[in-house]
Amino acid sequence: MNTTARALCATTLLAALLPATHAVENGAPITPFGVFDFGAGMLPPPSEFGTVGVRAAVYRADELRDANGDVSPVAAKLKVDSVGVAYIKMTDITLGNAKFGWGAVLPVLNMRLNLTVPTPVGPLELSGSNTAQGDLQLIPAILQWTPSPGLYTNAQLIVQAPTGSYDQTRLINAGTNHWTLVPSAALTWILPSGFEVSTSVQLNFNARNKDTDYQSGTEYQQEFAIGQHVGPWTFGVGGYVYRQISDDKAPGLANGNRARVNAIGPVVSFFELGSGLPLVWVHGYKEFGARNRSQGEQLTVRAAWTF
């Protein structure tokens, strides 16, 4: 078979295989998983200059899972390294019983994807990478409640703008090239004994990518952490649940490509009031139960300073 025919055959097969093993466009995360753990329902106090946070995350995956949760015939190696800078400004303005605030998050990502696609004429090797700014998240409204001692809740409205690097011809992109609206709510409950339960829930409503005419389905993300406070330390277990709850929409797409995945792993945080040291969180998560997406591991470190 000549080179042109081989390439055409491989491309056709790739188009048939990838939609079966990826949900949301290109299978890339639209908003990050595993951001929150302990203290998810708590926000910084009002301050003169606000709070600055930094998050560094490493994600590795060596396989794709199909709609049945089985390993896909398309072999994959995915690497995503990210650093995000967040700013939150809580104020003394109150709306009802809630404190009002606002914020923004700007990520930079280093992404690489290698695929080996089986074809009738032999394996087709594909690779792509992108190191660039990701999509800017604007948080025009944050509401924080403290209904009772030890109980903290908040609600946020996030608008993710398509400011990240994007090229339709690339295999993987730091940007998504579409808008996403993200309402979220979070809760933290700390008992007098120091036992903590925290969780956050969000929905991602994705607009259409105008360059590809692809609209990813609505996504549900829930993160959690359960642990015990010991002095300035908190030790426990955390994780996340991800479900795509509506179908992707695109010309010629035969099915909804709904994705899902779960993750769990150890979590530790440190905060000593009055020490001048930042609040620090560290967690490591192992994914399982993936369908229509990658399955891998994540390590994340976060720190925050209030000024």
Tokens coding 90: 């809580």
* CB atoms near residue 2 (< 10 Å): 7
* CATH code for the domain of 72: 2.40.160.40
| 6 has a pLDDT exceeding 60 | no
pLDDT reported for residue 4: 33
Backbone angles phi, psi at 44, to 5 degrees: -65, 155
* Structure letter (DSSP) for residue 122: S
List the structure tokens of 230. Answer: 């010991």
CA distance 24 to 294: 12
CB atoms within 10 A of CB 83: 14
- pTM for the whole thing? 0.89
Q: How many residues does the chain have?
A: 307
**What's residue 253's pLDDT?**
79
82-102 pLDDT, tens digit each: 999 999 999 999 999 999 999
What is the pLDDT, as a whole number, of residue 178? 96
Query: Can you give the residue range of the structural domain that contains 100?
Result: 3-306
How much is the mean pLDDT over the chain? 89
H/E run at residue 290:
strand 279-291
The pLDDT value recorded for residue 254 is 67
Q: Which two tokens stand for residue 303?
A: 């720190």
pLDDT of 275 > 90? The answer is: no
> Which residues touch 1 (CB under 8 Å, ≥6 apart)?
9, 121
Q: Report pLDDT digits (tens) over 162-173.
A: 999 999 999 999
**Secondary structure (DSSP) of 76-116:** EEEEEEEEEEEEEEEEEEEETTEEEEEEEEEEEEEEEEEEE
State pLDDT tens for residues 11-38.
Answer: 333 333 443 334 566 666 677 888 899 9
CB–CB of 138/104 below 8 Å?
yes
Beta bridge partners of 226: 197, 237
CA angle 128, 64, 301 (to 5 degrees): 75
The per-residue pLDDT for 27 is: 60
DSSP annotation of 26 reads G
150 C-beta neighbours (distance < 10 Å), count: 13
* Number of compact structural domains in the chain: 1
pLDDT, position 24:
63
More confident site: 70 or 14: 70
Residue 92 to residue 120: CA distance in whole angstroms: 66
E strand or H helix that includes residue 264:
strand 260-270
Q: How does pLDDT run across 203-252, given as a tens digit for each residue? A: 999 999 999 999 999 999 999 999 999 999 999 999 999 999 999 998 88
With contact defined as beta carbons under 8 Å apart, do 173 and 166 qualify?
yes
Q: How far is CA 64 from CA 72, 128, 151, in A?
A: 5, 16, 40
What is the pairing mode between strands 279-291 and 219-230? unpaired
Closest by Cα among 15, 32, 26 to 177: 26
As a dihedral over the C-alpha atoms of residue 31, residue 21, residue 26, residue 133, rounded to 10 degrees, the angle is 50
